[in-house]
Amino acid sequence: MIRDPSSSPAARWFENTVSALTYSFIRTHGGPAYSPIHNAVARFVLDESRRAPDHLRLALRLATAIFDLSTVPFTGRRFHRLGPERRHRYIAGWASAPLGACRDLIRFYEALVVFGWTSMREDGDA
């Protein structure tokens, strides 16, 4: 993912987590492990999250940080540092969690990734 070198560590952390989620969802939905479109989709998801109203933007960033950190007690690593198979397991766990906010966070990212990936593929960018 292309990053602004002047961005804060918190912004880079958020970008890394969104990028990891993007790659995971594309793969889950039948896409390749990597293609040039992956970074474009990650940028799309980041742009959409930046467009959220102020009160939702902060909640989204906080929930994303909690998601990224939730793997540390079990793996010693944050979500965005895990391999594809482990990422898939943690996403599946959050997607079926009893707490609706966990499920909603995963649905939010999955919907944006699938929409972006499908749109860009149909435009012939893949």
In tens, the pLDDT along 32-87 reads 888 889 999 999 999 999 999 999 999 999 999 999 999 999 999 999 999 999 99
Please check whether residue 41 is in contact with residue 72, taking contact to mean a CB–CB distance below 8 angstroms: no
pTM of the model: 0.89
